[in-house]
Structure 1
Amino acid sequence: MNPAPQRLDFVGSNVANNLNKAVAYYQHMAENMTADEDPHVFMREAISAARTSLEKCLRGYDSFDALAFIRLAAGPWDFTDLRESESQIESSQAAQDVVALTLLGMGLPRQPLTGKNSGQPNPAEALGLAANIVTAARTLALFRGQRANQPLGALAGEFMGYELSVRGRQYESIAKEVNTELLGHPAVSSVINSVLGFTLDDIRAVREASTALMNERLFGARDRLGEASKAGPPADAESFRHDINLMMNECRLFGAVSPADVAERSGVAESTARAVLDFFSTSRAAENDVNPVMRFVDGELPTPGGCIADQDEYLLLNGFLSEDELRRNLERGLIAAAAEKKNNAAKMWPKYDKRRAVYSESKSANLIGKLLQGAKPHWEGQKYIGPVDTNDTPSLGRDSDRTAVVTDKFESDILFLVDGVALCVEVKAASITEKSRGGNAQRLAKDLQKTLKEGNEQANRLTRLISTNGGVWSVEGEWIDLSSASEIHSIVVMLDDMGPLSLSMNVLADKGIIESDEVPWIVSMHDLIVISQTVDHSAQFLEYLRRRRGRRLATMVNGVDELDMFMWFLTGGMYFDPEPHEIAKHIPVESPIKASELRRFEEQPRVRLGTLTDPLDAWFYWQEGLSKSQVVKPARQEQPWVEQYLSASEATHPPGWLRFGADLVGLSESAQGSIGKNLKAVRRAARGGSIERSLTTHGASSFGSWLLTMSVAPKDASTDHLAEYMDAKQYQTHSDRAMLLLYQPDGSLIGTRYRGRPQERTTDRDHAVEIAPLRGLKMTFTKLPPSARRSTVRLRGARGKKKL
């Protein structure tokens, strides 16, 4: 009998609605295709038909007027009431790009300025047809990927579809921060200026001046018209007509700039302003060139660029010189100049590449250190000896004969060792190539081999050495003791945005890109910065890392954005019940696994992750001045007693502050609440008395078992016995770690005691604990440890609009 199909849950805003749209789209395709028709041919014909209709809609209008008017109509100009979860392709930057590409394919038709009503194309019709092209191109990319005879074909198609339709994938403030630190560095600035003829400061000056000119012209005309309408018939009819014409007809008057205007406004030389505008602009194609829309469909031209040039006019497009595309665009320019042997670019590229790597590693270390309460790396750029064959890992222990195995020299980018937690971090600064972004599955595999596979192998090699041997040998032959690490995680940080690639661990594992038993956390620099600015407690970061690296999560969740995953965690989700046998290993009482427990585990639904970043977007947009609404930062809610422990332990970093803090964060809301309720009862019992009162609970996960004792001691009560009790109870329950929290009756946390490792088993100790006055194991383990699943979603913050 065939098993029942696995249920699919939708998490996030508008997921089901988007899926219904996709189903309707494919159903429409099926109804309009003949039985023997090739879907690829059908889609290309549909794109050609939409392009023909769009050309008809745009014909007879000046290209610059039409584009400036459509940008004005589509916006967005203010992000206060906009939400990514409610975004439509029709109003996206990608659709506006397709309109621009269509006009370029038509030869960029221009009309002379007359000052008269020249009319405009219907923006709703134009953007609707452009949206049809974007949707069809994205669908065609998925079909192409599915058909490709390559292991990563389907993923390449998905990645291409993402690149075709997504714009503005980074927050402006964070992209600006990275660009300032990397592209604004004197060594890099010198390279860019030498090869391309301008600097990052020049780019920003041109953008600010161009945008200011556009806004002054557009909103100046709007404001003058508003004032005139209040005052009655216009005193200066000619000025009134000019402003109406500027806003509604000849929109190039506000939407286009000249190098001279920009130079005068920005203070940069006119030749520099022209160099910037020329570099980031697109002009009409040669007569025999492939149509720009079809180049877009085939992934050869992801966007038209920051502006469109025609003689001395430069029409500003939506996303003009946006910070999140600057680095990729400049790298394209440096690579192209090197290929053409211009301005000594071939010798300049290695200089830039080296600085890019140094910056990426340094930035990653600072960000992860920030997430760990300012911790410094245990090392950076450490060279060590490792086995060529990972099966030889045990032969590289401190007391092993290293001459018996074949070794090589390896390098670890960053290692953190904090409170028994080791984070092995590898950083990859190289960019995903344009061929990969354009859907070339073979090139994508090569890029991922160089980045993700190599980074994972490097991190995994070190984690195996630490977990197996408790340390590594330096290339100088010195033993580096890392035996304090009880929990080890691997992280791969990418300077590039990875889109759906970082959430496709199951595909990467199946296709051999990720070969380790444990999956690394793959995160872009941008998303790492966001998380570092959002997480309230280091223990929350560690718990996120624990869940994020779970192979079950990697195989059960489908999505395109790491920040959606992160927000899922903040709202109390991102949790799958562990395998019952895995939990049973941590419980020292034999109890048969019930069939219902196994069935519940096996029948957990897969998750389709939609948009969850609206509150995060709103917070960033308020900070960046793009929204008028003040918004509170999103935060993961913990019960008061957990919040108290996290804040107090982070202030002094007592043993267990990080690792046990993550254990508490991992509890469900109801479990945290139940423990907090019991703690209040113990506090009440201790008031007015002379003896301490305690409660003990336990938990287990794939990261081992833990024991928590919470004691409330009146002023004169003795607590000398608590350490002995805690040790005996940890031994009895076979717990990997144990924490004692000591409170006063008023709820003040006055002390902690932590054991971060399991105790060695001995016959004498077994006997001593057996006769100790402890509750028996069967009574202690009458039920499974508290669950980590949170039944409710609570989040501080408001909703907002992300980027299109």
Structure 2
Amino acid sequence: MANHNDSGPDRRIISADEKGLEFAIQSMASSLASLRAGETLADLVARGPDVIREQVEAIAKAVRKADAFDVIELMRLRETPIVLEGYRESLSDQRPAAVELVALILLARGMRVPPGVDPRAAHPARAIPDIHDRTGTLLSLGQFMLLSDGQAEKFGPLTSLAATYVGHELNVKFKQYAHIHDGLNHALFSSEHLGALLVESLGFAYEDFLLVREAIRTVYLDRFFAARDTLGEVSGEWEASGRRDQAPERVEQGRAAADDLMFFPGERASFTAAEIADASAVPLGRVERVLERFSVALGGEGDPVAAVASFLAGDNPFRSASLITDGAGNYITMNVPIGTDCLRQVVEAGLKGHAARWRRYEKHRMIVSEQSSIRYMTELLGTDPAHVNLKYFRPNPGVSRGELSSAATNITSIAEQTEADALFLVEDVAICVEVKGRSVSHQARGGHVQRLTGDLRATVGDATNQALRLEGLIRTNGGLWLENQTWLDLSAVREVRSVAVCLDDMGPLGTALDELVRGNVIKSDRFPWIVSLHDLAIISEVLDRPAEFLLYLRRRTESEVSLNYWAIDELDLFMLFLSGQLYVEPDPDRISEEFLGVRRPTNGDRQRYRSNAVPTRVMTHTDPLDAWIYFNEGSVREPSPKPKFESHRSVLELVDFLQDGNKPGWFRFSADLLNLAGESQKGLARGINDLIAATKADSRPHHYFVGLAGAWGYPTLFIGTMPTKMSPSDASRSLATYGTAKKHQIKSDRALMVLFDQRGNIRSVRYDNAPPGEHRELDALGETIGLVPVEVMGRPVPPSARRATKRLNPRNKKHR
């Protein structure tokens, strides 16, 4: 993990490691290479049109005599990995969008090979390094120009987010891992589910699409490796013979293979519909219709400068096309397999012209989205939802939530029926889930701010409002009125979280909460976790414990974290969380003021908080996740371990003990334990061992408590020990007496009491989540057992009275 302050002490960047940080700094330097001496970014943006013209004209000149297919394949070899073995996204300078930029310039030329030239005399391979640099300049400049509009909020408060989203759409390919991508597409489009709907609308079935996609890949790789093997054999024979002359025909075979691989690869990389039909066994007519849907044709001449400027502004003709056709029946792949990141948009565009078919598909899409979301949430939480498609009453406009309490009458006069997609009840935690299957529009993907605003309000905004509406009723009333006007008692719920799942890839749209609030998409000071279905699926595969997921929900929806940490992708934040870094310490003054018995903060506490609660840009952290998934998908041979949540072994043992059999506190308090910082977890483990050692030494019971006051309440952990000669029931009752009295005294909202015997085995667990309140008997009990008064607990200790004491939490000392 490496940090870098990119704009003084009030802003920082977090990269995965030192190599990642070094590469990120180099990339930034490259992005700024176009700056002249003394020039600012604003100056560069102002002369942006001139820079675009200069770069485009230079690229066009470099390839003016070359076969367009040769150039495209050479750029593909430069900008996309052929194999994923050892690949690290965070250290790669490859830019798939660069291939599209060059393809745009070649499309504007209007023909594959200019008339009257010999493309083999062009030597396009020599120009590729320079073209790589120039396309990098163009892509960086395009992002600066978009962000310049965003900073000025040229088209409203979401202009900056729209600019970031356009950059994400242009530059990020393979937005989903293959097994999730293909599994979701199968559920949405297979004939098993839709019958002949796609054939009727598009002229081919989903199964045809899969066969054609695989045939394109197979034909390409067969030819690539055949050329590689021939070149290797010829070179090997030459070396083995002591570099003596070879037969002319053998030399020609080697030269042709080298041309096919590295110098003039356009013919080798191209294919026809007939060749794909033979390789796939799909009827030729269906193959042609598939290729037509995912290709752009070389055609009439155009202005390459205007085309590139539009592309950089978000108008991408390759958003759903990854093939170029020369108009003579030949096709070539630019950078990704057909349908990558766009199959659903292509299919939906083809269905929208048929109202009845569209309605049938839209209903199916919603069912798939909801069922998949609930399945992944079930895997994460280890339990089925308590309610699916929950129909309940919400207050009418002008009616407060409190009027829908359990004592309400004439429900239909003050409320109307609504529906929630799912409600999970896990121990004393409720998790509200809303799902949106609607897609982000073509215009929004192109940077149209008003359309993006409307789309976000219809997806993220609606899902947020619906989830928070349910959450608010549970918080306020401790229950809901169901459609049959019976009361659903949820008074045992102590914590409520909300999740808004979107079928679309969200990218920066789901992580930029600050901008969503300013853009009036989210109209609450509480946030749900906004996540794509794909990312939810991946997270469900990685996390090992439900309590880890609850902690992630807390971290992602706590305002300090959600407003200070930003990444282009949810999974970067998730990987940062697994490493224990996605954290902002709560304001120490607020904690000291709000919770009893917490010591007063020091200047060091305040400084630590100020240095931590700053805008933080999270760079790529998914390399270990990529490696694990690529191995499991069969894309690489090198095994890689599954990423895991980093926590102290003793804490994990306690959490796993609680989870086994769902012992009291297993869900909510386990998340509290996992929230402890690494040093605090080590301190807790040492404290437990010291307590056990003390009981071994004097055969007496011992106990202590540690307060975990923070952003999510005031949990308190009570540890007790049981001498060998003491009965478990007596020891448990003694610890419970102390724990209950202390919890009441300091007004802790939840407490876990864990009893260990002298061998270190847990003998009993008690969980008390009773809300703090007046209780005279407990007041008297505290006085009887001699609890330290609250007003004494929080005082700083005078130097003369200081003594060694174990710190189990950086914010709290042991107290009696």
After superposition, give the CA deviation of every residue in 1:662-720 in whole Å (9 maximum; x if it has no partner): 00000011111111011112223334875544332221112211221223335542232
Residue 266 of structure 2 is matched in structure 1 by: 252
After superposition, give the CA deviation of every residue in 1:516-554 in whole Å (9 maximum; x if it has no partner): 121111111111111111112111111111111011223
Shift of the 548–185 alpha-carbon distance from structure 1 to 2, 3 Å rule, reads farther
After superposition, give the CA deviation of every residue in 1:117-153 in whole Å (9 maximum; x if it has no partner): 7632421122222222222222222223344232322
- Deviation at residue 161 of structure 1 after TM alignment: 2.1
Q: Among 707, 730, 738, which residue is 1:725 paired with?
A: 738
Q: Distance in 2 between matches of 1:657 and 1:674?
A: 21
Residue 223 of structure 1 is matched in structure 2 by: 229
- Deviation at residue 777 of structure 1 after TM alignment: 3.8
Shift of the 215–53 alpha-carbon distance from structure 1 to 2, 3 Å rule, reads same
Q: Distance in 1 between matches of 2:653 and 2:598?
A: 36
Residue 104 of structure 1 is matched in structure 2 by: 107
Q: Distance in 2 between matches of 1:668 and 1:550?
A: 17
After superposition, give the CA deviation of every residue in 1:146-185 in whole Å (9 maximum; x if it has no partner): 4423232222122222222222222222212221222226
Q: Distance in 2 between matches of 1:501 and 1:689?
A: 60
Contact 1:430-1:496 at 8 Å conserved across structures: yes
Shift of the 713–763 alpha-carbon distance from structure 1 to 2, 3 Å rule, reads closer
Contact 1:282-1:308 at 8 Å conserved across structures: yes
After superposition, give the CA deviation of every residue in 1:281-305 in whole Å (9 maximum; x if it has no partner): 1102444688543431232226261
Residue 310 of structure 2 is matched in structure 1 by: 295
Q: Distance in 2 between matches of 1:222 and 1:402?
A: 79
Contact 2:435-2:500 at 8 Å conserved across structures: yes
Contact 1:58-1:126 at 8 Å conserved across structures: no
Which amino acid counterpart does residue 271 of structure 2 have in structure 1?
Answer: V
1:572 pairs with 2:580: yes
Q: Distance in 2 between matches of 1:29 and 1:390?
A: 56
1:129 pairs with 2:147: no
Residue 798 of structure 1 is matched in structure 2 by: none
Q: After the TM superposition, which residues 636-655 of structure 1 pair with which residues of structure 2 at under 5 Å, given as runs? A: 636-655=645-664
Which amino acid counterpart does residue 541 of structure 1 have in structure 2?
Answer: F
Q: Distance in 1 between matches of 2:794 and 2:302?
A: 77
Which amino acid counterpart does residue 120 of structure 1 have in structure 2?
Answer: P
Q: After the TM superposition, which residues 305-324 of structure 1 pair with which residues of structure 2 at under 5 Å, given as runs? A: 305-310=321-326, 311-324=328-341
- Deviation at residue 103 of structure 1 after TM alignment: 0.9
- Deviation at residue 438 of structure 1 after TM alignment: 1.1
Contact 1:564-1:613 at 8 Å conserved across structures: yes
Shift of the 405–39 alpha-carbon distance from structure 1 to 2, 3 Å rule, reads farther
Q: Distance in 2 between matches of 1:410 and 1:186?
A: 32
1:485 pairs with 2:510: no
Q: Among 166, 170, 173, which residue is 1:164 paired with?
A: 170
Residue 683 of structure 1 is matched in structure 2 by: 692
Shift of the 190–741 alpha-carbon distance from structure 1 to 2, 3 Å rule, reads farther
Which amino acid counterpart does residue 216 of structure 1 have in structure 2?
Answer: D
SS at 1:709's partner residue?
strand
1:749 pairs with 2:762: yes
Shift of the 30–513 alpha-carbon distance from structure 1 to 2, 3 Å rule, reads farther
1:666 pairs with 2:666: no
After superposition, give the CA deviation of every residue in 1:751-799 in whole Å (9 maximum; x if it has no partner): 322112235422233123222244544565568982499xxxxxxxxxx
Residue 207 of structure 1 is matched in structure 2 by: 213
Residue 529 of structure 2 is matched in structure 1 by: 521
Which amino acid counterpart does residue 204 of structure 2 have in structure 1?
Answer: F
Q: Distance in 1 between matches of 2:191 and 2:752?
A: 47
Q: Distance in 2 between matches of 1:27 and 1:254?
A: 36
Residue 363 of structure 1 is matched in structure 2 by: 372
Contact 2:13-2:617 at 8 Å conserved across structures: yes
Contact 1:105-1:293 at 8 Å conserved across structures: no
Shift of the 390–652 alpha-carbon distance from structure 1 to 2, 3 Å rule, reads farther
SS at 1:427's partner residue?
strand
- Deviation at residue 16 of structure 1 after TM alignment: 7.4
Contact 2:721-2:756 at 8 Å conserved across structures: yes
Which amino acid counterpart does residue 629 of structure 2 have in structure 1?
Answer: F
Which amino acid counterpart does residue 153 of structure 1 have in structure 2?
Answer: T
SS at 1:446's partner residue?
helix
SS at 1:381's partner residue?
strand
Contact 1:656-1:739 at 8 Å conserved across structures: yes
Q: Distance in 2 between matches of 1:589 and 1:221?
A: 75
Which amino acid counterpart does residue 512 of structure 2 have in structure 1?
Answer: S
Contact 2:500-2:528 at 8 Å conserved across structures: yes
Bigger drift between 683-692 and 106-115 goes to 106-115
Bigger drift between 108-117 and 561-570 goes to 108-117
Q: Distance in 2 between matches of 1:644 and 1:440?
A: 51
Superposition RMSD in Å: 3.0
SS at 1:123's partner residue?
helix
Residue 735 of structure 1 is matched in structure 2 by: 748
1:275 pairs with 2:279: no
Q: Among 123, 133, 146, which residue is 1:119 paired with?
A: 123
Q: Distance in 2 between matches of 1:241 and 1:286?
A: 35
After superposition, give the CA deviation of every residue in 1:366-413 in whole Å (9 maximum; x if it has no partner): 11111112x111111112111134760011000134569742222111
Which amino acid counterpart does residue 98 of structure 2 have in structure 1?
Answer: A
1:552 pairs with 2:560: yes
Residue 786 of structure 1 is matched in structure 2 by: 809
Bigger drift between 55-64 and 239-248 goes to 239-248
SS at 2:780's partner residue?
helix
After superposition, give the CA deviation of every residue in 1:429-469 in whole Å (9 maximum; x if it has no partner): 11111111111111111111111111111111111100010
Residue 802 of structure 2 is matched in structure 1 by: none
- Deviation at residue 245 of structure 1 after TM alignment: 3.2
Residue 804 of structure 2 is matched in structure 1 by: none
After superposition, give the CA deviation of every residue in 1:85-139 in whole Å (9 maximum; x if it has no partner): 2222xx2111111111211111132279999776324211222222222222222
Contact 2:66-2:119 at 8 Å conserved across structures: no
Shift of the 80–17 alpha-carbon distance from structure 1 to 2, 3 Å rule, reads closer
Q: Among 410, 434, 437, which residue is 1:426 paired with?
A: 434
Contact 1:667-1:787 at 8 Å conserved across structures: no
1:501 pairs with 2:514: no
Q: 5+ unaligned residues in a row in structure 2: which ranges?
A: 1-6, 239-244, 797-806
Q: Distance in 1 between matches of 2:246 and 2:33?
A: 56
Bigger drift between 50-59 and 596-605 goes to 596-605
Contact 2:31-2:136 at 8 Å conserved across structures: no
Contact 2:191-2:207 at 8 Å conserved across structures: no
1:465 pairs with 2:473: yes
Residue 66 of structure 1 is matched in structure 2 by: 71
Shift of the 596–248 alpha-carbon distance from structure 1 to 2, 3 Å rule, reads closer
Identity of aligned residues (%): 30
Contact 2:741-2:779 at 8 Å conserved across structures: no
Q: Distance in 2 between matches of 1:248 and 1:607?
A: 42
After superposition, give the CA deviation of every residue in 1:36-88 in whole Å (9 maximum; x if it has no partner): x9866621221122111111111111111221233234441122333222222
Q: Distance in 2 between matches of 1:81 and 1:788?
A: 43
SS at 1:657's partner residue?
coil
Which amino acid counterpart does residue 515 of structure 2 have in structure 1?
Answer: V
Q: Among 617, 623, 626, which residue is 2:635 paired with?
A: 626
After superposition, give the CA deviation of every residue in 1:201-250 in whole Å (9 maximum; x if it has no partner): 21121111111111111111111221222223555435334323322444
Residue 349 of structure 2 is matched in structure 1 by: 332
Q: Among 91, 96, 99, which residue is 1:93 paired with?
A: 96
Q: Distance in 2 between matches of 1:28 and 1:289?
A: 23
Which amino acid counterpart does residue 242 of structure 1 have in structure 2?
Answer: A
Q: Distance in 1 between matches of 2:322 and 2:348?
A: 15
